[in-house]
Chain A
Amino acid sequence: MFGWGRKLTRRRPAAVEPARADGEVIARALSPLPAYCDVMTAHLKDIVDYTEESAMTTLGRMEEVDALAGTMAGDVASLARAVDMTQRQLGEMSESNSRLVLGLIRYFAQRDHRMAELVEEVRGLNRHVAAIDAVSRATNILALNAKIEATRAGEAGKGFSVVADEVRELAEESSKAAQDIGSSIRELTNRLHLAITDDSSVEADMAAEFDLGSVMTGQETAVTRRLLSVVETQRRLGEMFDEVLTDTVNAADQVSRTSSALTHSTTEAVGEIQSQDISRQMIEHVGTAVEEVQRQVQDVVGYTRGETAAEDLLAGVQHVDELRDRHVMARQRASHAAATGTAVAQTALPAIELF
């Protein structure tokens, strides 16, 4: 495409002509070549400068990409730490709430059980009330009889004395029944008061292991059913949060891995910029060869014009083997051998060698 390696072909003359030695013609023909070489050398230098500028710009961009990857990795690490902390805090809060609700359920369950016991005890009071009622009615009858006997006896009071004894006994029974009622009522009042005000078991239950089965030993009530619903809703919310946070952590891990891979790639790419230096040296060798051609052309022009001695001209002739000797890279030597059709000595030295 660009003519590299293209063999230049010359038109052959129609008939062989005798050799000519017109120095001035040769000098005029060759004299533009030094300027031609100057331009080629300048172009080669342009190529070196351009690739160097390009390489430096690429390096700068890669360092920017690398810095961005580093920033991204730092941000992702911060996010992962924050998410992890949030996940742990949410877990602790969820567990605390569960314990609280568990305590409330246990509290209400026990309170309802106590209320049921109180209802039974209140029913037991009816027996005492019935006894009082019977005693009262008997007392009334006795009092009536005493009144009748007292009226009938007049001065004789023997019968009245018997009746008076019966009334006294009944009064004692009535008094005992009243005391029993009073005692029961006091106990009932105390227990009702305790049932309403004592919530110490809630605190104790919050410290207990979360075991819903052990709490619900009795019948469910309206309150405990609603509290159980709260527990279930919170459990589901906790699972949803946990899934979201776990996904976020996984995504952050993935970004972190990608960032590391990006950093590694940019480091390798930066290393590849060495190719510009290698190309530069190859081009500089070509430039040196062009300068040699230029010098030899000038020598030939000088000779044809009588300004350079024949010995000096021949002494300055560069053989292609001398060009080969200046090659420093194995690749240069290989391409030289391919172009000249000569064999190249294959030296299998390692690219990295520690002495």
Chain B
Amino acid sequence: MKTIMLVDDSATMLMSIKSVLVKAGYGVETASHGKEALTKITGGLRPDLIISDVNMPQMDGITFTREVRKTAGMRFTPILMLTTESEAGKRAEGKAAGATGWLVKPVQSDQLLGVIKQVVPGA
């Protein structure tokens, strides 16, 4: 079973996306902000995919992505930014930080699952 880490400060987002992913057969780990997620990563968690919000307290999604890329074994793990941010500059920042893709909320469940199959080998 592939494991996906969800990072978002919105409890609603975490619950709704987790529900879709679990039903699709994925294991899901959640974190409320980048710092909490990074603690889990440095603690040894190795998800097959990370889906992260951008604007979050304590550590935003772009900084989190940058830190994940510095972690051993996480250099090539796909990271999707799922955010309300539609501004081109922010998107370029995400790309430079090492994000794999950019998804603007709201994303339909079918579309999200389709993107996951594209970026996670064997998903």
User: How far is the CB of A209 from the nearest CB of chain B, in Å?
Assistant: 50
User: Across the interface, which residues of A come within 8 angstroms of B99, CB to CB?
Assistant: 355
The interface centre, meaning the residue of A272, A349, A354 with most chain B CB atoms within 10 A of its CB, is A354
Size bracket of the B interface: 35 or more
8 Å CB contact of A276 from B12, B55, B103: B12
Q: Are B102 and A355 in contact (CB under 8 A)?
A: yes
8 Å CB contact of B20 from A270, A275, A349, A351: A270
User: Across the interface, which residues of A come within 8 angstroms of B55, CB to CB?
Assistant: 281, 328
User: How far is the CB of B111 from the nearest CB of chain A, in Å?
Assistant: 6
Please encode chain A, from 206 to 246, with 1 for each CB lying within 8 Å of some chain B CB and 0 for all others. Answer: 00000000000000000000000000000000000000000
**Of B32-40, B69-77, B79-87, which stretch is located at the interface?**
B79-87
Q: In the complex, which residue of chain A has the Cβ closest to the Cβ of B102?
A: A353
Give the docked Cα–Cα distance between A263 and B110 (Å): 13
Is A291 an interface residue when CB atoms closer than 8 A count as contact? no
User: Across the interface, which residues of B come within 8 angstroms of A59, CB to CB?
Assistant: 12, 15-16, 19
Please encode chain B, from 46 to 65, with 1 for each CB lying within 8 Å of some chain A CB and 0 for all others. Answer: 00000000010000000000
8 Å CB contact of A353 from B23, B84, B101, B110: B101
Q: In the complex, which residue of chain A has the Cβ closest to the Cβ of B78?
A: A354
A267-B23, A277-B10, A280-B10 are known contacts. Are A349 and B88 too (CB-CB below 8 A)?
Answer: yes
Q: Are B109 and A55 in contact (CB under 8 A)?
A: no
Is A352 an interface residue when CB atoms closer than 8 A count as contact? yes
The interface centre, meaning the residue of B87, B88, B95 with most chain A CB atoms within 10 A of its CB, is B87
Residues on B close to A: CB < 8 A?
8, 10-13, 15-17, 19-20, 23, 55, 83-88, 90-91, 95, 99-112, 115, 118-119
Knowing that A59-B12, A270-B20 touch, tell me 12 more A-B residue pairs with CB under 8 angstroms: A56-B12, A62-B19, A267-B20, A271-B20, A274-B12, A276-B12, A277-B84, A278-B105, A328-B86, A328-B87, A352-B104, A354-B100
5 contacts between A and B (CB under 8 A): A52-B12, A66-B19, A273-B16, A352-B115, A353-B91
